[in-house]
Amino acid sequence: MAVTTFFASNAKALSDTTYLDGSVGRLYTIIDRPDGTDHKVPLVIICHGFSGNCRSPFMAALSESIVSQGMAILRFDFNGHGLSDGEFKDMTVLNEIDDLKKVIDWAERQSWVKNISLVGHSQGGVVVSMVSGELGDKVVKAEVLLAAAAVLRDDALRGNTMGAIYNPWDFKGEYIELPHSPEAGPLLLGKNYIETALRLPIYETAANYDGPALIVQGTHDQIVPYTYAERYNEKITGSELKLIPDENHGFTNTMKETSLIVADWLKSVLFK
């Protein structure tokens, strides 16, 4: 399963970089564990968003905050992103769901993992919400949705994804070029992405999760309006909603504060 690995340590964490098997090839993966522990610890798997990667400042900030509270983290690049195998134009929400399930399957077989929780940003939040709904709280101890992009289905229905305009019912060719993306340059959006997005039962699947859930969203998010977070909060039983005034989709103004909110909440749930 692991292909290339190096190991390093410092006063705060043990860090391991490797590759895990994904839906279409290898997934670049970073694992951070609290230093000085020789027992099982909770593992938090962090999922980045559309066109992002696991090494972005926000992913790094989340990881640092969570590890500082005594939990381990695993963050990885989805297929077609970052340093993972595959091409972006072949990426869909469904094969990202398969990626995450394969990572969870690997984590369940590690002797040092006490339980597994999920954190997802943007499209990664949609993936986390649907996987949590499918696997349930016997597998997913807790979930955190950060600006989860349930709007992606409505975007596909409108024929406008990240500024790319198309007819979803008569999509010409196999892909369309995105004029811009949140974290990368020009990218090709595949026909399969649109066709699967049109049919995604996002909220219906997410509603099946009964474990602890935290939903965090900025009120000035122009990519995913905060009303989508409010709907998640309505659908997921027992969830908590935290709206951050004036914050945007990438949490760039409150990155450290938001990361601490997530870490503190996870600690309160996982160390009861």
pLDDT of residue 10: 36
Q: Where is pLDDT greater, at 200 or 272?
A: 200
Q: SS3 string of 106-173?
A: HHHCCCCEEEEEEEEECHHHHHHHHHHHHHCCCCEEEEEEECCCCHHHHHHHHCEECCEECCCCCCCC
User: Would the pLDDT of 3 be above 60?
Assistant: no
253: exposed, middle or buried (Cβ count in 10 Å: 0-12, 13-18, 19+): middle
Quick check: 91 and 81 in contact, CB under 8 A? yes
Banded model confidence at residue 272, pLDDT cuts 50, 70, 90: confident
Give the tens place of pLDDT for each residue, 42-66: 999 999 999 999 999 999 999 999 9
Average pLDDT (155-173) is: 94
Which of the four pLDDT bands, split at 50, 70 and 90, describes residue 159?
very high
Identify the residue with better confidence: 6 or 162. Answer: 162
Per-residue pLDDT at 182: 56
Check whether 147 has a pLDDT greater than 50.
yes
pLDDT value, residue 128 = 99
Rounded CA-CA distance 113/105 in Å is 12
| Percentage of residues in the chain having pLDDT higher than 90 | 86
pLDDT band at 181 (very low <50, low <70, confident <90, very high): low
pLDDT at 11: 37
pLDDT given at position 183: 57
Over the stretch 222-257, which tens digit does the pLDDT of each residue have?
A: 999 999 999 999 999 989 999 999 999 999 999 999
Question: Range with the lowest mean pLDDT among 34-38, 69-73, 122-126?
Answer: 34-38
Question: How far is residue 102 CA from its own chain's centroid?
Answer: 14
pLDDT at site 179? 83
Q: Are 187 and 177 in contact, with CB atoms under 8 Å apart? A: yes
- Domain range list for the chain: 6-153+202-270
Mean pLDDT, rounded, for 147-162? 97
AA identity, residue 194: I
Query: In the prediction, which pLDDT does 5 show?
Result: 29
**pLDDT digit string, tens, across residues 194-206:** 999 999 999 999 9
CATH pick for 6-153+202-270 out of 3.40.50.1820, 3.10.50.40, 3.40.50.720, 3.30.110.30: 3.40.50.1820
